[in-house]
Amino acid sequence: MKVQIVDPSAFTPPYDRALAAALARAGAEVQLLTSRFLHGPVPAAEGYRVEEAFYRRSAARGLDAPARLPFKAAEHFPDMLRFRRRHDDADVLHYQWLTAPAVDVRLLPPRRPRAMTAHYVLPPDPSRRQLRSARRVFGAMDAVVAHSEHGAARLRDEVGIDAAKVRVIPHGAFDYLTKLPEEKPLPAELEGAEGPVVLCFGLLRPYKGIENLIEAYGRIELGASGAELWIVGNPRMDVEPLRRRAGESGGRIRTVTRFVDEAEIPAIFRRADLVVLPYLDAEHSGVLYTALAFGKPLLLTAVGGFPEVAETGAARLVPPGDPGPLAESLQELVGDEAARAELAAAATRAAAGPYSWDESARKHMDLYRDLLEARS
């Protein structure tokens, strides 16, 4: 079976490449059509082909080149038309993202079976315009992959996608990060921690509830444990208030507010004793699947598909947006090594089982076969 995975803007290279490698191991002939990722290294292609078919000229200008985005916009329509006219003999086209979904969906190659992964279904309380756009894009597919039952329900009940088109295939744990050929040591900003480390990792955005986490952490009694909270990630919001509150914590909170190279990730996660995602809203999170890969205990808010991960025993759940219950669970887990070990063991089992890439590939291959059978 020949499968093309399509992510024109390279929005999720780790996911794209992990899925491609798993499908190749399952026996598919896989090609990833994408663009050059400008923010750092990407996983090497293992058993599949990569073609950087989109935005080649703007990518060659580099990430910080003047007017790079206008150049990219100028390339978009010609690149999509070139993609539409391709005569590759792929059996299935699987879209991960579209750069301009409402427009791009009209430019996709006809006739071949189409699947699309709904990495993000809808914002909370979507507008009519957002609902129409989601219905137009997902409705143009022969199948839509949701990472959780929660996402599948939103596709069916809010977007209005035929239930027969929706397939739940969980996100895989990013285990490739546990075996990088070259790892960097722990960043200098994080060296020297002696007690338990609570980690909040990933792009710093308002919906991630970091302010609630800082408030909750300030309420707990640490005694002589020497526990620390680490907030690590590239800012997509004003982080000065976070830095200020961290500075007032007397060393209990450390921040690394910059792009974190992939090779730095293993040392950070291996040193963490508890990973906390205090999100106010989410469908899922790549950070969650990184923590599973490293077998880390999780403290999550009950949003999106997070409760489904908690059902494996890998995570403790608290309500979103309320520092009180978050502080109570932090207090308990920071002080209870046995409870953390129990969560960690469940995380390791989940990463090797329902959230493994080989299991994801098996379910994707079943989906592709169903699409081909229906088309024939």
Residues 310 and 360 in one domain: no
Residues 56 and 159 in one domain: yes
How many separate domains does the chain show?
Answer: 2
Residues 330 and 239 in one domain: yes
Residues 118 and 157 in one domain: yes
pLDDT tens, per residue, the chain with 376 residues: 999 999 999 999 999 999 999 999 999 999 999 999 988 889 999 999 999 999 999 988 887 778 888 889 999 999 999 999 987 889 999 999 999 999 999 999 988 899 999 999 998 889 999 999 999 999 999 999 999 999 999 999 999 999 999 999 999 999 999 999 889 999 999 999 989 999 999 999 999 999 999 999 989 887 657 899 999 999 988 888 888 877 777 668 999 999 998 999 999 999 999 999 999 999 899 999 999 999 999 999 999 999 999 999 999 999 999 999 999 999 999 999 999 999 999 999 999 999 999 999 999 999 999 999 998 7
**Alpha-carbon gap, residue 298 to 293, rounded angstroms:** 12
How much is the CA Rg of the chain, to the nearest whole Å?
A: 21
Residues 181 and 264 in one domain: yes
Residues 32 and 45 in one domain: yes
SS3 339: helix
**In which domain, by residue range, is 106 found?**
2-172+356-375
Residues 259 and 146 in one domain: no
Residues 199 and 280 in one domain: yes
Q: Report the half-sphere exposure of 250 (CA within 13 A, side-chain side).
A: 5
Cα 337–Cα 318–Cα 251 angle in degrees, nearest 5: 55
Residues 121 and 166 in one domain: yes
Residues 185 and 305 in one domain: yes
Residues 151 and 257 in one domain: no
The two beta strands, 274-277 and 315-318, are unpaired
**Alpha-carbon gap, residue 189 to 351, rounded angstroms:** 29
Instruction: Return the CATH number at 27.
Output: 3.40.50.2000
